[in-house]
Amino acid sequence: MVNDATAVTSATAGAAAMKKATGMNKDDFLQLFVTQLKNQDPLKPQDSSEFIGQLAQLTQVEQSYNTNTNLGKLLAAANGAQEMSAVSFIGKSVVAEGGGFSLKTGDTPTLGFRLPAQAKKVLVEIRDVAGKLVRTLTAGTTPAGDGVISWDGKDGNNRAVPPGTYGYAVTATGSDDKKFDGKPLMSGRVEAVTLEGDEPMLTVSGMDVPLSTVLSVKGAT
């Protein structure tokens, strides 16, 4: 709700912006117009259409400024609400889009994914930060929806891989032998929130997760 003081402030700012852009505000222009009317020859009245057209343009400048100012305030309020929402996630468990994860010594991570349709075979390719293929995991018939597959932390030669950051992609084959992509999902507890940048970032299991990629949230456990 806009109170009287806010409306007056907005109107004043709009008038100031109009004067800066054109050299005069609406009141100045009207005064000039009235003076012209007083001094014109009654037998040869001047064409006022140009004055009226310019006045309309000045009014549009003022209204545009006020509209932009109000939109800016609304966006600022929306961003503030988004940041408060992100902070409330701390300590809660989330599921988000993304195939990045941090591997620690001895870990046997469970890798989540979502399929748009049932598959007769699912391939999960795990790569290191350099993009090198580390391991390919295979699952048989898998229904549409969310699924998981476990990794023992070893490469294709059955050797334990070093701790670090890894990523994975999901490819599936349907009953018609056509391939389609699955969506990698990560899950974990929100440890912290960063409010810098274009959108809040959640820290989940040591990984940065954009707030916009979060699919579900559960209460603190």
Q: Where are the domains of the chain?
A: 4-88, 92-218
Cβ neighbours of residue 169 closer than 8 Å, sequence gap 6 or more: 99, 124, 125, 127, 181, 184
Residue 30: CB atoms within 10 A of its CB come to 14
Residue 119 scores a pLDDT above 80: yes
3-state secondary structure of 149: strand
Confidence at residue 205, expressed as pLDDT on a 0 to 100 scale: 83
Check: pTM over 0.85? Answer yes or no.
no
d(CA 27, CA 112): 65
138-147: average pLDDT: 96
What count of residues does the chain have? 221
Residue 17 scores a pLDDT above 70: no
Residue 38 scores a pLDDT above 80: no
Binned at pLDDT 50, 70 and 90, residue 11 comes out as very low
Cβ neighbours of residue 221 closer than 8 Å, sequence gap 6 or more: 93, 189
Quote the mean pLDDT of the chain.
78
Confidence at residue 30, expressed as pLDDT on a 0 to 100 scale: 61
Residue 86 scores a pLDDT above 70: yes
DSSP annotation of 162: P
> Which CATH topology does 92-218 take?
Immunoglobulin-like (2.60.40)
Render pLDDT for 167-197 as a digit per residue (tens, 0 to 9). Answer: 999 999 999 999 999 999 998 999 988 887 7
Confidence at residue 169, expressed as pLDDT on a 0 to 100 scale: 97
Q: Which of 10-19, 146-155, 209-218 has the lowest mean pLDDT?
A: 10-19
Range with top average pLDDT, 77-91, 137-151, 206-220: 137-151
Residue 67 scores a pLDDT above 80: no
